[in-house]
A and B are shown apart, each in its own frame.
Chain A
């Protein structure tokens, strides 16, 4: 007899043996239909259990790290660039050694080495990793799906202007488009040009227009009038 605990579909069937009126009962069970765990989920789970058994990590540490990835890391890059916009000396230090400048703000990039590249009226920078999906995770969190797509990775290197246009970014012919293939040990952050109409803004206000996509270079920050 097969082991029913390995039969996902049998479990699903069993789980729905009891009756729910989903239309009227707001406490009805949520139908997730997530499917069985993938091989990688099982391997990752097994690894975590082993590390927990050996008292090397705790489940709470893993949860904390995941929470940090979602709640804190994605907002660091915009804080760093907002500082660079308001403090020219800091910007210079950021361009010279990104990791050291971030450390000044109490941001530890851990293993990442950072190259900040500055947009100017003459140069527009855009970041890609053609080999995989290298991304400044310690500053921007997890990479978006499009950044990892083979469409973006293969096209932005040979037709960057067409790809940028699809993101709504059109650049004049006299602007140099500089693609950075993040293919080895360095990670990249774009310092966009500070838009007109932001004089006197606080770093916090500035960081709100410094979205993830502006820091990867597929778009540029702007001030929306209300």
Chain B
């Protein structure tokens, strides 16, 4: 396991809350958050851009907040995931044990696939 791959539980139950037709990623997939800084309303915190994590669950497709913020209808909807990150990877100076994590919601268009290093 690489330092950027925190463990995620095998889904014990359906992991979608809304339907997520055509979702690109699955639970356990390693991904990177795009490191890009476009202007506008974005719900991807700056501190997580460029970091690597693992898909923890698929929340389903939701109206795109980057469009909703400007009075549009948020269509087409975007698939929302929960991604788990190791704190030591997110904050190199993190003053806590290796296994502490941070989880957050990231829309699919912010995710980039990483090679699967699991056995």
Chain A residues with a Cβ under 8 A of chain B: 95-97, 99, 113, 115, 130-131, 157-162, 173-174, 176-186
Contacts and interface: CB of A to CB of B under 8 A. Distances in A.
B62 A185 contact: yes
Nearest to B91: A158
Given A158-B87, A158-B94, A183 B17 contact: no
Nearest to A122: B99
Contacts of A186: 17, 59, 80, 82, 105
Contacts of B103: 178-181
Contacts of A113: 17-18, 59
A183 B100 contact: no
Contact of B100 (A131, A176, A180, A185): A176
Query: Would you list the 10 A-B pairs with minimal beta carbon distance, nearest first?
Result: A184-B105, A181-B104, A96-B13, A179-B102, A177-B100, A185-B62, A158-B91, A176-B99, A184-B43, A178-B101
Given A177-B96, A178-B103, A183 B91 contact: no
Contacts of B45: 130-131, 181, 183
A183 B104 contact: yes
Name the residue in B43, B91, B95, B96 with the highest tally of chain A Cβ atoms < 10 Å from its Cβ.
B96
B102 A181 contact: yes
A184 B87 contact: no
A178 to B, nearest CB: 5
B99 A185 contact: no
B43 A131 contact: yes
A176 B107 CA distance: 26
Interface in B82-118: 82, 87, 90-91, 94-97, 99-107
